[in-house]
């Protein structure tokens, strides 16, 4: 009887720990990210080039991209995104 009670308690403890450790896994919580927000655009501004919209021409360090006819490095694109045009 004692062995059965200890086994039951161990099973409850394991289940409780699984619930605690996985409780937020399925939630839709918004987590803070380290990516800064882009500056607000005004009506006359040209859009800030993004890596997703550019063509890669060099994969060295730093990578080079062509966006709208201009060549940018990945560092220049990050600086434009963070500081604005």
Q: Which residue has the higher pLDDT, 8 or 39?
A: 8
**DSSP labels for the chain?**
-HHHHHHHHHHHHHHHHHHHHHTTTT--PPPP-SSPPPPPPPTTPPPPP-GGGSEEEE-SSS-EEEETTEEEEHHHHHHHHHH--
- Higher pLDDT, residue 9 or 66: 66
Q: What is the pLDDT of residue 64?
A: 93
What is the per-residue pLDDT for 66? 93
Confidence of residue 33 (pLDDT cuts 50, 70, 90): low
């Amino acid at each position: 009887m004692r062995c059965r009670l200890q086994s039951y308690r161990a099973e409850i403890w394991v289940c409780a720990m699984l619930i605690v450790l996985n409780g937020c896994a399925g939630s839709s919580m918004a987590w803070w990210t380290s990516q800064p927000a882009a500056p607000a655009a005004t009506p006359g501004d040209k859009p800030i080039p993004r890596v997703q919209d550019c063509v890669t021409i060099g994969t060295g360090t730093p990578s080079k991209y062509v966006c709208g006819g201009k060549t940018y490095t990945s560092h220049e694109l990050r600086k434009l995104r963070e500081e604005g045009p």
